[in-house]
Each structure stands twice: as C-alpha cells, then as structure tokens.
Amino acid sequence: MTVRLLAAGDHFVLNRLLLDAVRAEAGELDFRELTLPWPVEPFGPVAEVKEASGTEDQLIEALDGAEICVTQMAPLTERVLAASPSLRLFCVSRGGPVNANLEAAAKAGVKVTFAPGRNATATAEHTLGMILAAVRRIPQTHADLAGGIWRGDYYRFEAVGPELEGATVGLIGYGAIGTRVARMLEGFGANVVVHDPYVPELSIPLDDLLSRSSIVSLHARATPETAGMIGAAQLARMPAGSVLVNCARGSLVDYAAVCDALDSGHLFGAAFDVFDEEPIPYGSRLLRTRNLVMTPHLAGASRQTAEKAAAIVAGDVGRYLRGEPLEHAAN
C-alpha cells in the first residue's frame, strides 16, 4: 500500500520545495497538499501549542489517511492527534518544533522531527548587517535623506560609531549561528570573545564579556535560565557608547531597560530582530526610542533557509521509510 504524505507548507517553506525534496529522497508517494497562511497571516497559539499557523480543523481534514506530515507551522495538538490515527511521523521544518505537542505525540506513537541549523547562515549574515546598521547609523541617515534632509551633523565625533576592526565583540552563545558570526567578524579584524556554558574551553564569564565588549550580540536559546539575561544590571556593565544586538529570542532581553540605556546615552545603539511580544504592540516604547534598529523577526529569511529546511525534513522521511534511525528526532 502506498504511503500517504501530507505537505502542509506555507508562503515561505513552499509545498513544492517540500515535495521536491521528499521525491528526491524517497521517490513517489501518495502526496496531498495543504497551504497554510503564514506569513501573510501571523502565527500564534493554536490550542496548547505555540507559533502555529492554520486551524486544527484544517489539519485534521487534510491528514485523513496520512502516515507522514511535513510542515513548518501546522499545529500538532492533542485534538489533531486523536483525530489522525494513521499519522506516525510529523516533520517540522523549523529549528525547534514549538508547534507540536511532543508529549502527546509520543503517547500517540507519533515521531516528531525538526530542522536544526536550517537558518544558521541567514541569521548570521543578518546579525552582521544589524551590527553595521547600528554602528554606522544606516537606517537613520537613509530616513533623513529620503525625507530631504542632509544631516552633516552625524559627522560630529560624539555622533559617530566604532569600527569593527580592532573592536572587541562579545557573543553570548556559540552554536551554529554564533560560530558563523565569529568567522565573519574576524574577517573584519574584530576581537571576538564568547560566553557559552556549553563551550567551556572558550567561554569567559558573562560579566567579563559585558565589561570588555563595545558590541554584544545574543545567540543563546530561549530557556528558563536565559530569560531576561540582559537587563538593567547587565547593560550597566557594558562600556558607555556600546551596542547591543539581538537576533536570537525576544525573551533574552529586558527591552524597557534597553530603552532606558538608549535614552540616557549609555548605549550608542541597539538592533533587534526579535521581541518579547510579536508583532510589537501599537504604542510600544520601542517604536519611539532613538538609535534603535528593528526588523520584524526575519533574520532567518532566505531562499536557502527554505530549501535547507525542506531537505532536512525530507532526509528524515527517507530514513523513516527505510527503517533507519531518525537524525533529528524531537521526542
């Protein structure tokens, strides 16, 4: 009997990418498709899971008779699992399967996989762009010129930022993204220091990193231990005129404290791709604080990220069908 596979793609990780990758890995199956609305519509919580797209009813209908599902954002909930007795493999093409109830899936005999490292290069490149944008005031000067204003006063000594060559840049987190950022920065001639308890041979204490670095970039995972790890006390340890960059997770930073440090002039600038509340609510202080560069959680957005994501999950589909151990099992 032919195995039925549902590709529940969206407008980033497209169904055609998922299906082409699965065909290359496993050949022809009984393919079904469902297109989810992200990112045209923001993701959000669905029942008990976070950061999902589409509804339980949509997925239940599309999963009828499917043994495998490959997706980025579809919600794997207790209700979906109860209504999908044929499902045995649920592949999430993201760095973490936050849209899947892993405990309920394990109880139902459904294996869940994910796609670690899919966006490492894209996020590292975006981080470097954010650093340069913050230290050279690129967005602000562009906005002035677009508004017909020539701001020569940006050339004042106290208004200009530091060069990367010779600067000490502290990286908090030294995994797939942090190591790539380090290589890029070293190409600029920066001196890179690292804090990461998982890399003790390279890691220095966090307080030492903060006090030594003119630029600090966050690349840590969101865990209970890292929540709010950069607050008022940590910002105070950073040298006057330094820059903070976060393209990792919004929970790592106390954003009110950053706004205070920017308003006081203690920080020269900051650049964020992630926030504690997304989308940023209307009236947020972040939207009116000077010297802050922001992008809407798209550091990992590249065509190669979508292609790599599809290839990674397709690899585990092939292993599953061949009876081999899964490479990226989450449960």
| Selected catalytic residue, list 4, 79, 94, 249 | 249
- pLDDT value for 125: 98
CA separation, residue 83 to residues 62, 107, 112 (Å)? 11, 14, 17
The Cα 118–Cα 108 span in angstroms is: 27
Q: Which residues pair with 191 in a beta bridge?
A: 168
The Cα 69–Cα 43 span in angstroms is: 19
Q: Are strands 4-9 and 68-71 parallel, antiparallel or unpaired?
A: parallel
Question: Residue 249 catalytic?
Answer: yes
Secondary structure of residue 311 in the 3-state scheme? helix
Which residues in the chain land under pLDDT 70? none
- pLDDT value for 222: 87
| Selected catalytic residue, list 118, 126, 137, 297 | 297
- State which amino acid sits at residue 95: G
Question: Residue 297 catalytic?
Answer: yes
pTM: 0.91
Q: Where are the beta strands (DSSP E) in the chain?
A: 4-9, 30-35, 44-46, 49-52, 68-71, 89-92, 111-113, 168-172, 191-195, 215-218, 242-246, 267-272, 292-294
Q: Is the dihedral of CA 189, 238, 141, 300 positive or negative?
A: positive
Question: Could you tell me the domains of the chain?
Answer: 4-118+302-322 (3.40.50.720), 120-294 (3.40.50.720)
| Selected catalytic residue, list 33, 125, 278, 307 | 278
Tell me how far the alpha carbon of residue 133 is from its chain's centroid. 19
121, containing H or E segment:
helix 120-135
